[in-house]
A and B are shown apart, each in its own frame.
Chain A
């Protein structure tokens, strides 16, 4: 149980285009999901907290207009990297908090974004 999927697993795009990454909780409902960024050989950096039916909460230094987050249902959150540039190339990971009153997060397998 508590499986989180991400799609796509890898994406390559040209500079200036937008890319959407999906995060789904497959066997549970999640009111809260999180988006992280992981640089090579480094730890995970929290980008934003995604709450179903409301606006995402972004961490300091994360551009909300560049990283658009939508949490339209209890099983799906999306991260759109707008006008992507090579410096946005990274590994993006989502997680979902479950059960709703718990502090435990279940993580997706990650999406490798490469911007040319």
Chain B
């Protein structure tokens, strides 16, 4: 079956640092890949997505590239802010529109 593995947290960074959260997946076909973000006290929000190999999703300074050869979708941001503190979930969807989530990575950015 489908599964998503993302790096364990928590991750603590200083403002303006570079952030990378690794995500790899297992799927039988060609899934769509997502990053969702959950800010404290709020619901999940779609951060970005990519639907096919080599696609790059981007939003709010975050980027992730769909790498079929390495089955990865790593999330990156060049300069984080305190407001980026949240839990980040990698997820995939294949065929039946069901989402399979990774365990989530808690990111804390300190001023």
Which chain A residues have a beta carbon within 8 Å of chain B's beta carbons? 4, 6, 32, 34, 41-44, 46, 49, 93, 95, 97, 103-110
> B102, A107: Cβ atoms under 8 Å?
no
* Cα A64 to Cα B51 with chains together (Å): 32
**Chain B residues in the interface with A (C-beta under 8 A):** 32, 34, 36, 42-46, 49, 51, 89, 93, 97-104
Q: Is the CB of B43 within 8 A of A107?
A: yes
Per the bound structure, the CA–CA distance linking A39 and B81 in Å amounts to 28
A113 to chain B, nearest CB (A): 16
In the bound complex, residues from chain B placing their C-beta under 8 Å from that of A43 are 89, 101-104
Give chain B nearest CB distance to A45 CB in angstroms: 8
For the A-B complex with A42-B104, A93-B44 known, give 5 more contacts whose Cβ atoms are closer than 8 Å.
A49-B98, A97-B97, A107-B36, A107-B43, A108-B43
Query: Could you name 27 residue pairs across A and B whose Cβ atoms are closer than 8 Å?
Result: A4-B43, A32-B97, A34-B98, A34-B99, A42-B104, A43-B102, A44-B44, A44-B99, A44-B101, A49-B98, A93-B43, A93-B44, A95-B99, A97-B97, A103-B32, A103-B51, A104-B34, A105-B46, A105-B97, A105-B99, A106-B46, A107-B43, A107-B44, A107-B45, A108-B43, A109-B43, A110-B43
Which residue on chain A has the smallest CB distance to residue B42?
A109
Cβ distance B54 to chain A, nearest Cβ, rounded Å? 18
Residue on B nearest A46 in the bound complex, by CB: B98
Q: Is the CB of B103 within 8 A of A103?
A: no
CA distance A44 to B6 in the complex (A): 14
Given A32-B97, A34-B98, A44-B89, A104-B43 contact (CB < 8 Å): no
CB distance from B83 to the nearest CB of A (A): 18
